Amino acid sequence: MAKNKPKLPAQFAAGERDEVPFAVMIGSDELRAGFVTVKEQKWEFVDGKKVKVQSTDQGEKIKRDELIQWIKSTRTYQEWNTGKLI
């Protein structure tokens, strides 16, 4: 979000509203260790409406310098990049 100190719930709400496929979280401990936590956000059609798939997945810890390659290797990215479901 384009704010100096956005609140976490507001960030997640904006991501869900805009159907952002990945949430990348960086805590102070992760920052020092060179990691980020990435959570894939998914949507599906239910009764003709697009709804977010609820997940208990807390995300995956990824080395910061491997983040782009990791995202590009996901099915979510590949579906988005081709514009169709795989």
pLDDT tens for each residue of 31-82: 999 999 998 887 778 888 877 777 777 889 999 999 999 999 998 888 888 8
User: Is pTM beyond 0.75 here?
Assistant: no
* Residue 38 CB partners (closer than 8 Å, separation 6+): 22, 23, 24, 25, 59, 60, 62, 67, 70, 71
Residue 63: phi and psi, rounded to 5, are: -65, 135
**For the domain 8-81, what is the CATH code?**
3.40.50.800
- Write down the domain spans for the chain: 8-81
